[in-house]
Structure formats: structure tokens, C-alpha cells
Amino acid sequence: MVNAHSHAFHRVLRGRTHERSETSVTDSTDNFWTWRTQMYAAASYLSPGAYEQLATAVFAEMVTCGWTAVGEFHYVHRGQTAGTLSEPLAMERALINAAIAAGIRITLLDTCYLQGGLSVAGEAIPLNEVQSRFSDGNAEGWLKRWNELHDVVTEINSPLVTLGAAVHSVRAVPKIELERIGAELPAGTTLHAHVSEQPAENEACRAAYGMTPTELLSSSGLLGPSFSAVHATHLTPHDIELLGSSGSTIVMCPSTEADLADGIGPARALADAGATIALGTDQHASIDPYLEMRALEHGERLSTGQRGRFQPAELMDAAVSGGARSLGLAGPDTDSTDLDDYLMVDCESMRTFGSRVSQLPLTATAADVQQVVINQRVVAENGVHAQLGSVEELYCAFMTEHPEFQ
């Protein structure tokens, strides 16, 4: 199973964002944008050491739940320790070290993030204090750092570590910089972007450029078999046509999209148009791959009133081959099982007993994962990490050493 979209540090928000803030109580609204202020607060505390410790626990939780690979959509490029910013690439090394310690495959999706957003009038919003740590100034600066990171990954030479790229969103990267990235990033590089997660993003993009985010990405030369659109919740029919005909991948994150009240994306329509569907856990409201598979199908059922919108085999394909393709671990003509990664799942638990094996995506949970093997190595058994031990203890140690996150 391949987790195609993760922000590891968001894990500290689990179970801590469900009460209305003072602002939301005043205006009777609690949504993605109010949640984002809490996320930025968490990002402001990150240092390389804290990030490595937290990400190690998050990646360890992933493997005990059954994920064998992760796409880490990484934009916090500069952490802060004792009031000073970290050295260049320290945060990236922290995530790589965490993945190697947890024994999970990582495609590090190093992310270009250049402006604070777009107003509904289409005007660029300056970076705030936290966002300034995400930015390399312009596409040239980001490409320079990306190439330096490429050299680091080459030097590490681990079968678990792959480098990809991302543009955060059309809100965070102007059109002229999108075009430069499309022209100068090496051909075939795995590239991801948040796309149309919120209606406000679409409105701002239309105001700024006279087109939707998908149309803007297409005109900038970014769509194609190496491209993944994350969320893709609020699309037009033309957007669906562009993503499908280009052979792009769509990374749905159903538990996060439900948790943040984003909406239900047109997954079935995208698949029918020719797009590959993959799954991710994004902000880790849940890290259970079976719950993500079920939520994808349940969203379709709730929005259409029809069952069986995705067959169980299609749900498993999204979690396995779709994710592998999204992260550049397998191409359309490559079997992702060639990676020598696999799970053993209990088919006779109280949840799965009586289920046809083919229908486990609709009945199993991470609690039924008995063994996880990655790169021919046993990494987890019965919810316990083979090298790191109890994931609960990893989280407890992190919170004890970093009370600022509580």
C-alpha cells in the first residue's frame, strides 16, 4: 500500500482541532481556512531535531498500519532552533533520516512555495512570518535548492529514498514561475500539486488568470503521466477532461477531505476519463489505509445514491499501483509488486471473518495487519514496529520532549 500524500507534521493536530476557535464561534464558521491557522502554529515550532523525531513516529505508525511507501509533500524548508533558522537542507535530511529509521520507502516531494496566496480579487498575498520559511524566493532559487537536494539523495544512495517535486498550489506559485518549473525540471520528474481543494482557490485563480487551477497547470505544461493532482475536489467537466486525457494521477485523501469539510471529489468521473486514482492520508486524521479505501467508495455512494461505484479490486489498485505510479515507484507498464513489499492480513478477525478476500477493502482495518515487509525486511508485526517498538511510546517521548506542540 502506497500513501501518496502526507504532511508528517500535521499529525500533531489529530484530535485537537474539533472545537470551534474564538474566531469561528463569532462568525459561526469552522472550515479549512480556520483549521489552517492551527496548522501554521504547529509549523512555527518545527526544528530539524523535532521534525525528525516526530516524522519517525508518524512513519512508524504508517508501516504498522500497512503503508509501505509515502509521498511526503514537504514545504517547511527552514526550521527554527533557539531563535535561529536551520541550515539549508537540514529539514529535508530530517525527513529522510526519519523514513530510513522507520523502514518506509519515501518519495520526498520537495515543494515550491513562493507567495502567501491569492485574494478573491486575484491579487498576490505576501508571505506571512511562518510561510517565509517555506519559500526560496522564486522558481530559480527553488530549482537550485532542488538540484542540491538531488545530489544529497544520490549520495545517500538508499533503496528507500527517492526525490520528487511539488508546487504547493496555484495560490502559492505564480503562473510565470509555474511555466519556468515546467520548462526546467528534468523530464519525467514526479510532480505533485494541491489542486482545487477549496472553491475559494478556484475563484481566486479565475480572477487572477481567467482560468481554473487545472487549466492553468495545463497551460503551464505540467499535466501528464508524471503529474499528480492532490484532492481535485471542485472541478469543472473541462478540468476532468484535461486531467484524464493527460494521463495524470489524482491523489484522493478521503478522511482528510471529510475532516476539513472540503467536499467529495469526482473520483469516479476522473477514473472514467482516464486518470489514475491514488490515495493519501494528508493531515493524518487517520493513517489507516483500509479506512481511506472505504471512504473513497462511501463518498461516491453518499453523493450518488448508488453502491459499487468502485469495485473492491479498484480500491486496492488505488492503494497499491495507483500510489506507486503517483510516486514514481512504478510506471503504467510496471508491476508495483516488483518492489518486494507486502502485507500479511488476518482474514479471520472479528472484523474480517466471513469476508471474501477480494472484499477486504470494505471490511478490514489496520488492526488486521499482522506483518509488513518492505524491501524484503520485516518492518512491523501486529501493530509493533520491529526496530522502534511501540509507536505510542515514540509519540509520548516526542510530546514530553517538545511540550510546545501540546
Q: Are 64 and 385 in contact (CB under 8 A)?
A: yes
* Spatial distance between the Cα atoms of 238 and 368, rounded to a whole number of angstroms: 41
Torsion (CA) 46, 51, 57, 60 in degrees, nearest 10? 140
Q: Are 361 and 372 in contact (CB under 8 A)?
A: no
Each of the 406 residues of the chain gets a pLDDT tens digit; together they read 999 999 999 898 898 888 765 554 445 567 776 777 888 888 888 999 999 999 999 999 999 999 999 999 999 999 887 678 889 999 999 999 999 999 999 999 999 999 999 988 889 999 998 899 999 999 999 999 999 999 999 999 999 999 999 999 999 999 999 999 999 999 999 999 999 999 999 999 999 999 999 999 999 999 999 999 999 999 999 999 999 999 999 999 999 999 999 999 999 999 999 999 999 999 999 999 999 999 999 999 999 999 999 999 999 999 999 999 999 997 555 555 567 899 999 999 999 999 999 999 999 999 999 999 999 999 999 999 999 999 999 999 999 999 988 8
- CATH number belonging to the domain at 2-10+33-337, selected among 2.60.40.420, 1.25.40.10, 3.40.50.300, 3.20.20.140: 3.20.20.140
Which among 148, 141, 191 has a CA at the least distance from the CA of 169? 191
Q: Say whether 149 sits in a helix, a strand or coil.
A: helix
Amino acid at 194: H
Residue 282 known to be catalytic: yes
* Spatial distance between the Cα atoms of 164 and 6, rounded to a whole number of angstroms: 13
Verdict on whether the full-model pTM lies above 0.75:
yes
φ and ψ at 99, to 5 degrees? -65, -45
> 259, 282, 341, 368: which one is catalytic?
282
Q: Are 258 and 300 in contact (CB under 8 A)?
A: no
Q: Say whether 212 sits in a helix, a strand or coil.
A: coil
87: which residues sit within 8 A by CB, 6+ positions away?
Answer: none
30: which residues sit within 8 A by CB, 6+ positions away?
Answer: 20, 21, 24
- Matching residue, cell 479498484: 314
152: which residues sit within 8 A by CB, 6+ positions away?
Answer: 89, 92, 93, 96
Which among 294, 383, 26 has a CA at the least distance from the CA of 394? 383
Paired strand residues for 124: 118
pLDDT of residue 25: 46
* DSSP one-letter code for 318: I
Residue 151 known to be catalytic: no
* Spatial distance between the Cα atoms of 246 and 148, rounded to a whole number of angstroms: 30
Q: Where are the beta strands (DSSP E) in 196-313?
A: 227-231, 249-252, 276-279
pLDDT of residue 42: 82
pLDDT of residue 338: 65
Domain boundaries, the chain: 2-10+33-337
The β-bridge relationship of strands 69-74 and 84-85 is unpaired
* Spatial distance between the Cα atoms of 242 and 218, rounded to a whole number of angstroms: 7
- Matching residue, cell 520548462: 183
> 5, 74, 194, 231: which one is catalytic?
231
* Spatial distance between the Cα atoms of 245 and 36, rounded to a whole number of angstroms: 33
